[in-house]
Structure 1
Amino acid sequence: MTVTSICGRLRRRVLPAHGSGDRGMATIQMVLLLPAVLAVLFAGMQAALWYHARAVAIAAAQEGARAAGAQYGTAGAGTVEAAGLLADAGPGVISATSVHSSRSATTATVTVSGSSMSVIPGWTIAVHQSATVPVERITG
């Protein structure tokens, strides 16, 4: 007897018939991996929605601050401008929004707050952005 024939006999005794040891492995792998893949997919989508809401909020705050900081601007003009940009962004981008503006002799500040859209029901992510600009004035 050679070593090769002994290994062949042992392999037939120890290992089951060809392929039967892998039966059902694809199902088990899918059951274990599919929830993880879906969690990563939804987390990526949620991050993109939050980032978009944040970008819209900072754009609205900057536009409002520019309007409030204009030479003859007011805090109310900043609030109206920021709220208008939020409305133009479309429904649902940022929900439950609130816009606050203030103007002093030297600076104008607009703050936009709200909640971004969510792919997970019942979970909201807060968005809070603020912009401050110097007030325009004639010097001379």
Structure 2
Amino acid sequence: MFQPSQHDVRNFFCQTLAKQRNGELLSPIETLAAGWIAEHPEYHAELADVEAALAAVYDVDEGRTNPFLHLSMHLSISEQVSIDQPRGIRQAVELLAAKRNSLHDAQHEVMDCLGEMLWASQRSGLPPDGHAYLDAVRRRATR
């Protein structure tokens, strides 16, 4: 399993923005990331300063959103949808996006479900529960 370091993730998003701005060729995963970066102009200044990005601390108590975590979650959800893993996530996300009339808004709701699943897994010491995650997304899509 690929497990990039915090440095790797931050560098990836910063370099993707730089390559996009310079009109350089992007890999498929960079192209996907660039789309989500474009959806979040509020992160562009942070992504443009690689040194500051690598050194930044995002403390929840300070109310700072971690742009790298946020963008990584967008990528994770996009990858889950592309391979339909857990099975049924594609349909649930598509239904939620249609209901919200926005893939971006739907992904933000899915992030809440993904975050809850990961938090529960960490707290319990058990593997992430893909069924509970999918059920949570489906509930949002059908209410």
Query: Which TM-score applies when normalising by structure 2?
Result: 0.21
Question: Relative CO higher for 1 or 2, CA cutoff 8 Å, sep ≥ 6?
Answer: 1
Q: As a proportion of its length, which structure holds more strand?
A: 1
TM-score by length of 1: 0.21
